[in-house]
Amino acid sequence: MKKWGLVLAAGMAFFCFAGCGGAQKTENAGGLENVAVVEEQADYEQSKAGPAESEVEEKNDNFNDLKEKGDSGEITAFAGEIQTAVSDKDIEALADLCIYPLAVNGEAVESKEDFLKQGKDVIFTEERCAAIMAVDVSTLEETMAGIIMGDATPNIIFQSVDGKLGITGIN
């Protein structure tokens, strides 16, 4: 009698598991929603893993290039150009120093024309101008994020992109 009980229990477990798999196949048969969920989960797993190897290599290349530009004095000269544009409140000159797209106050700006549309009052706030003018350009340090002019926010961030120094963020 004990054997029949075990056989019956094993049979019920088998049908339960088989039934669950069948229900999944039926749900997946008609819907693309599950595909989207799987893709979102894969994207999430990738984001948890960190940047792709090519992105890391690119950041390292940019950082190494930035380091070389610092050693040659290009960073000090570029930071001086930024200070001059800010001091003169010359939005055209500052726009020419930017690499597009860039972030302005957390928003993406795609082109020079879009940057100019921001207007001087957005770009040259009293606080930002004071923070940039207070920077000693001879003491700037390279970081993986680039060169940050300003102790906190507001600031201007520039870095080397494809071998060229340019502003990539204005906060």
Confirm if 144 and 59 have CB atoms less than 8 A apart: yes
- At 119 the three-state DSSP class reads coil
- Could you please report the per-residue DSSP string of 2-39? HHHHHHHHHHHHHHHHHHHHHHHHHHHHH-SHHHHHHH
Phi/psi at 152 (nearest 5 deg)?
A: -145, -140
pTM, to two decimals: 0.63
Give the tens place of pLDDT for each residue, 67-124.
Answer: 676 556 899 999 999 999 999 999 999 999 999 999 999 999 999 999 999 999 999 9
CA 51, CA 48: separation in Å to the nearest integer?
9
